[in-house]
Amino acid sequence: MKKYRIGIFGAGRGAGIARNFQLLGCEITAICDFHKERRENAVKSLGGGIAEYEDFDAFIEHDMDGMVLANYFHEHAPYAIRCMERGIHVYSECISNGTMAEGVELIRAAEKHPDVIYLLAENYPQMIFNREMQRVVRGGTLGRILYAEGEYNHPGPAGDIGFMRTYNYFTKHWRNHISRAHYITHSLGPVMCATGATPKTLTAFAVYDPITEGVPRASFSADRVAVITTHNDDGSIFRVTGCAAFGAHHNAYRICGTEGQIENIRGMGSKIMLRYNSWSKPEGMEENNLYDPKWNDKDEELIVSSGHGGSDYLTARMFLECIEEGRQPGHPFHVHSAVAMSSVGILAHRSMMENGKAYEVPDFHLEECRRRYENDRLTTFWGTDGSEPNYPVCTNPDYRPTDEQLRLYLAEFGR
């Protein structure tokens, strides 16, 4: 494989991703981040000899084959489009569009530049338990898939200064203005990947549960979980969360067919439970099969030594294979799936705000759907250009952190 030159936009999350590209023989040629200390730390951790940029306009002029977009969560699409215009392959981590209009713009740009590889770097389908579910589903023993669940549940202690210092360090930061529905890809991506289905209609509800303690806090949402139901293009149904915060931490998935079901067991690491009925179990299988999945991959040694449960390495490898072979990635990592997945989060938030109103997920292959959303720039987020939110982030639109919570937050972070 050619030694590809990779640029990193966003030195925090981007540094961890970059290490996996190095394991795959790539050269990390440049890093861009406005945060000087974070940028310098990333360069040092990656072995030095990497060009540093504060300004994206100068950064994109650097000679590179591909770019990792690890900038703010909701601001990938404009930078992806600029990469496409320059023939730079795009690894976007981990939603494609922050607004519906950006989804339209991204699709149009991808169609204009079909030789540029675009990969949604959603890594949870590459977790060992999700890879095993894909293997079993594709083996056909579960029959026709009727239903699947995906839960990305990430609770944390109120007022966690350590977390905020790394991830959430000023009042207008995107994490302080994100709906519980927006961070959708870690729950939806694995079940889309395993089943091949794409959501067509959705409805969503949220649980409002404000934190009342006198702790540093600047989040303008007090919803605890979004529960999203989708009806899909193959007739199946998904029940997924965005980034939830209830009970104990887990990433849990379940896929049910006409002949059996498979799930990873909450609280039991990567263990798989594969179940059949007595009349439908395949030869050599029990009704209940509890086991630890295997990687069964030529790069297992590198996978287990890399971070994020090996999923970052496998996602980076997929990107490089697409570049090497001159093909776009498959479902759900290609640009149309990426925009559909990210748009589920946007539209599910609107459904939550409207007491579970059903929304159609547009098919942006169709120009009529593009025209419907090409000017839809509703957002809960502040932009780095100073643009303000124009849509409420919490299902209680009057919610805001208490004066005491904001005072403690500002005393810690200053803005």
The CATH number that applies at residue 95 is: 3.40.50.720
The pair of structure tokens assigned to 74 is 């909701």
- In this structure, the answer to whether residues 285 and 365 fall within a common structural domain is yes
Under a CB-based contact definition with an 8 Å cutoff, are residues 219 and 243 in contact?
no
- In this structure, the answer to whether residues 196 and 271 fall within a common structural domain is yes
Q: Where are the alpha helices (DSSP H) in 89-208?
A: 100-112, 128-139, 161-167, 185-195
Instruction: List Cα–Cα distances, 206 to 212, 344, 351, in angstroms.
Output: 18, 15, 9
- The tens digit of pLDDT for each residue in 141-188 reads 999 999 999 999 999 888 888 888 888 889 999 999 999 999 999 999
- In this structure, the answer to whether residues 210 and 278 fall within a common structural domain is yes
The angle formed by the CA atoms of residues 266, 338 and 301, to the nearest 5 degrees, is 55
Considering the domain boundaries, does residue 308 fall inside one?
Answer: no
What is the rounded distance in angstroms from the CA atom of residue 161 to the CA atom of residue 412?
8
- In this structure, the answer to whether residues 78 and 107 fall within a common structural domain is yes
Considering the domain boundaries, does residue 414 fall inside one?
Answer: no
- The tens digit of pLDDT for each residue in 211-256 reads 999 999 999 999 999 999 999 999 999 999 999 999 999 999 999 9
- In this structure, the answer to whether residues 80 and 197 fall within a common structural domain is no
The pair of structure tokens assigned to 414 is 């200053």
- In this structure, the answer to whether residues 361 and 240 fall within a common structural domain is yes
Phi then psi for 394, rounded to 5 degrees? Answer: -115, 145
- In this structure, the answer to whether residues 81 and 205 fall within a common structural domain is no
- In this structure, the answer to whether residues 101 and 198 fall within a common structural domain is no
- In this structure, the answer to whether residues 217 and 339 fall within a common structural domain is yes
- In this structure, the answer to whether residues 233 and 348 fall within a common structural domain is yes
Considering the domain boundaries, does residue 20 fall inside one?
Answer: yes
- In this structure, the answer to whether residues 348 and 205 fall within a common structural domain is yes
Domain that holds residue 242: 125-298+335-373
- The tens digit of pLDDT for each residue in 265-277 reads 999 999 999 999 9
The pair of structure tokens assigned to 161 is 């200064």
pTM of the prediction?
A: 0.95
What is the rounded distance in angstroms from the CA atom of residue 85 to the CA atom of residue 267?
46
**Structurally, how many domains does the chain consist of?**
2
- The tens digit of pLDDT for each residue in 94-129 reads 899 999 999 999 999 999 999 999 999 999 999 999
Sort 71 into a burial class: Cβ within 10 Å, 0-12 / 13-18 / 19+. Answer: buried
What is the rounded distance in angstroms from the CA atom of residue 249 to the CA atom of residue 241?
13
The residues that bridge with 204 in the sheet, in sequence order, are 228
- In this structure, the answer to whether residues 24 and 131 fall within a common structural domain is no
Checking if the pLDDT of 287 tops 90, the result is: yes
Share of the chain residues as helix, strand and coil, in percent rounded to the nearest 5: 35, 20, 45
CATH number for position 347: 3.30.360.10
